[in-house]
Amino acid sequence: MIHVEGLTKYYGDICAVDHIDLDIHKGEIVGLLGPNGAGKTTTLRMLTGYFTPSAGRIQVKDSDMNEDPLSIKQSIGYLPESAPLYQSMLVYDYLDHVARIRGLRGDERFQRLQALTDLCGLREIMHKPIATLSKGLKQRVGLAHAMMSDPEILVLDEPTSGLDPNQIVEIREIIRRIGTEKTVILSTHILSEAEATCDRIVIINKGRIIVDGTTRELTTGRQRAGRIQLALQGAEADAARRLLETVTGVQSAEIEAGPDGAILQATVTCRPGTDVRADLYGAIKATDWVLLEMIRETQTLETLFGELTRES
Amino acid sequence: MRQTLLIFNKEFKDYFASPIAYIVIAIFLAFAGWLFFSTFFLYDQAEMRRFFDMLPFLFALLVPIITMRLFAEELNTGSYELLLTLPVTLRDIIFGKFLAAVAFVAAILLPTLFYALSISWIGDLDWGVTIGGFMGALLLGAAYAAIGLFTSALTRNQIIACIAAIVICVALAMLDQMLFFFPPPALDVLTHLSANAHFKNIAKGIVDSRDLLYFFSIAFLGLYATHLAMEDR
């Protein structure tokens, strides 16, 4: 569906995107993951035809971006980060304007506007100026903009950034619903978001692809050193460290006095591929300490990155 | 073509959605009306020549205010990204915006047709000359609008776009009155570069193809420069 070859973008001397090769198939939801400044937005801007690449080729279906950008733009719906819509227009006027530019006429246009109003939940705000909308509502209008021509490919740049938790859930829900029949490419710097919505994750750092794999491969296939945090009451620091380090599978334990002194915060690092929670609990149960908390740290993007860059 | 019209439509409506349009129209009518009619009866001639004579300068101050937001605002808010990723070409965008600005200049000129009507009631107005003058005024506005569009494409800041365009337009308008600054060999060339010198003929009722060519060239150069500036982004 989308074929990208040697895609490169320079800003002056700075190389933002460095020879990216990517093939995206029909019906995939692809998450472009990376820290800020990794080149995600630049890549998406080139895919949508906003930026001209310094080198490389973009092919969508059978069209080449250099030769026939209009037909590619016709089949891509794009929502840039923070949905920069025309502030002074009313939501209805804006969507109507987009529908006309997208070439929808008469009844067809009216029906499409109706359908999008329902899908994105815009009925109440249809006659409000865009400038007065909250960020979440603007994002929904932006989604309606992107889906106007019922495009085969949807490109979303950080669709949930700056939204509150409820809005994030709503937007993800909409994306999943669209993703059942469309090809979706979205960028994010939140790993859990990519896990929750994408079939395939592409991790970019410093303009290069470091990892490209299905979500399942990335989250379960690799064996990582896990970390567990404990809060202990009535324990003494040295004794606690000695005890925790005797548990099989534990690599090291760090102890810190908690804010009020009585509670110790312990961070246990365990060997890859082991689950030591039961053994830890057993060891603590044998003492007279009280176990207040036991939290397995969820893998953050930072730790994943650390590992991935070390591996390569 | 259809896309150009849609963009024209949106931009032209936008003018009337904000108060700027009404302020610009009010200022123009107040100034032009006062400057024109305060001496009109002293000259005791039923013609609009003195009205047209002041347009090169007046438009040089007003048209940049009309054009300053066209690209600068979109670049500043980022909405240009959405616009360019829709199935439109850069040419559609530039022509649409340019035509909207020219149409707005026409909207400003429209009420001054009433001056012509009033004069024709009290005297013997030469309609041919007057209509020619209005056409010329529109051409002048188009040339300035292309310059304003270009400076608007250069920056995200509307104020800078406006001032830069005013500087260029005023320079073009006043060039023939500042000739004493320049060495004699340059005088001939500079006179021909002056918008005022070319517009004077039109205001007098002489429609010379050289003058038309001048305004068309300025408009073309402005639009072409805009295309180059936006393509580079």
User: In this predicted model, what pLDDT tens digit does every residue of A277-289 receive, in sequence order?
Assistant: 888 888 888 888 8
Instruction: Give the per-residue pLDDT at A262.
Output: 76
pLDDT for res A230: 86
- Inter-chain touch A80–B84, beta carbons under 8 Å: no
Which two three-digit tokens encode residue B16? 């009337």
A73 chain-B contacts, CB cut-off 8 A: 85-87
Provide the edge-to-edge strand list for the sheet that holds A76-79.
A76-79, A153-157, A183-188, A29-33, A200-205, A208-214
Task: State the span(s) of chain A assigned CATH 3.30.70.3190.
Answer: 227-296
Is B89 an interface residue toward A (CB < 8 Å)?
Answer: yes
Fold of A2-221: Rossmann fold (3.40.50)
**What's the pLDDT at A234?**
82
The pLDDT of residue A99 is: 93
Q: List, as one string, the DSSP characters of B15-30.
A: HHHSHHHHHHHHHHHH
Which pair of tokens denotes residue B148? 């304003």
> Where is A294: in which H helix or E strand?
strand A290-296
Q: Do A72 and A60 form a contact (C-beta atoms < 8 A)? A: yes
Helices (H), A16-104: 40-47, 69-75, 91-101
User: pLDDT at position A302, please?
Assistant: 57
Interchain CB contact of B109 with A (< 8 Å): no
pLDDT tens string A59-91: 888 888 888 888 888 889 999 888 889 988 999
pLDDT confidence of residue B227: 94
Which chain B residues touch A76 with a CB distance below 8 Å? 85
- Chain A closest-CA separation from residue B6 CA (Å): 7
Q: Specify the pLDDT at position B95.
A: 95
CB contact (8 A) between residue A84 and residue B86: no
In tens, the pLDDT along B127-183 reads 888 888 898 899 999 999 999 999 999 999 999 999 999 999 999 888 887 777 777
Residue A7 burial (10 A CB sphere; 0-12, 13-18, 19+): buried
Distances in whole angstroms, Cα of residue B50 to Cα of each of A2, A159, A186, B38? 63, 58, 62, 11
- Confidence tier at A1 by pLDDT (50, 70, 90): confident
- Contact at CB, B79 and A88, closer than 8 angstroms: no
Q: Is the per-residue pLDDT at B72 higher than 90?
A: yes
CB A2 within 8 A of CB A24: yes
Cβ–Cβ below 8 Å for A97 and B17 = no
Handedness of CA A48, A175, A168, A219 (dihedral sign): negative
**Which residue, among B76, B82, B231, would best test binding to A if mutated, counting the most A CBs under 10 Å from its CB?**
B82
Is residue A32 pLDDT above 50, yes or no?
Answer: yes
Statement: residue B37 has pLDDT above 70? yes
Q: Choose among A71, A73, A84: nearest Cβ to B81.
A: A84
Is the pLDDT score of A191 beyond 90?
no
Q: What is the pLDDT of residue A303?
A: 64
In this prediction, residues A105-131 reach a mean pLDDT of: 89
CB contact under 8 A, A74 and B87: yes
Q: How many domains, chain B?
A: 1
- Residue B226: pLDDT above 50? yes
Of all residues in chain A, the percent with pLDDT exceeding 70 is: 91
Q: Are A253 and A244 in contact (CB under 8 A)?
A: yes
pLDDT at A219: 64
DSSP conformation letters of A159-227: TTTT--HHHHHHHHHHHHHHHTTSEEEEEES-HHHHHHH-SEEEEEETTEEEEEEEHHIIIIIS----E
- What was the pLDDT predicted at A221? 47
Q: List CB contacts (< 8 A) between A87 and chain B.
A: 77
From A45, A70, A84, residue closest to B79, measured CB to CB: A84
Q: pLDDT confidence of B100, banded at 50, 70, 90?
A: very high
H/E stretch holding B73 = helix B69-77
pLDDT at residue B45 is higher than 80: no
Cβ separation B84–A50 shorter than 8 A: yes
Mean pLDDT of B83-105: 93
pLDDT at A301 over 60: no
Task: Return the pLDDT at B217.
Answer: 93
pLDDT band at residue A257 using 50, 70 and 90 as cut-offs: confident
Give yes or no for residue B78 having a pLDDT over 70. Answer: yes
Q: What is the DSSP string of A114-163?
A: HHHHHHHT-GGGTTSBGGGS-HHHHHHHHHHHHTTT--SEEEEESTTTT-
What is chain A's mean pLDDT, rounded? 83
Ranked by mean pLDDT, the top range of B82-86, B98-102, B130-134 is B98-102
Closest partner residue to B86 among A73, A86, A89, by Cβ? A73
> Of the candidates A73, A92, A80, A17, which has an alpha carbon nearest to the alpha carbon of residue B82?
A80
Of A73, A86, A100, the CB nearest to B79: A86
Mutate which: A101, A141, A150, vs B, most B CBs within 10 A: A101
A145 touches A100 (CB < 8 A)? no
Q: What pTM value is reported for the model?
A: 0.82
User: Domain A227-296, what fold?
Assistant: Alpha-Beta Plaits (3.30.70)
Residue B58: which domain range? 2-231
Range list for CATH 3.40.50.300 in chain A: 2-221
DSSP class of A298: P
Query: Helix A106-120 and helix A91-101: axis angle, to 10°?
Result: 130
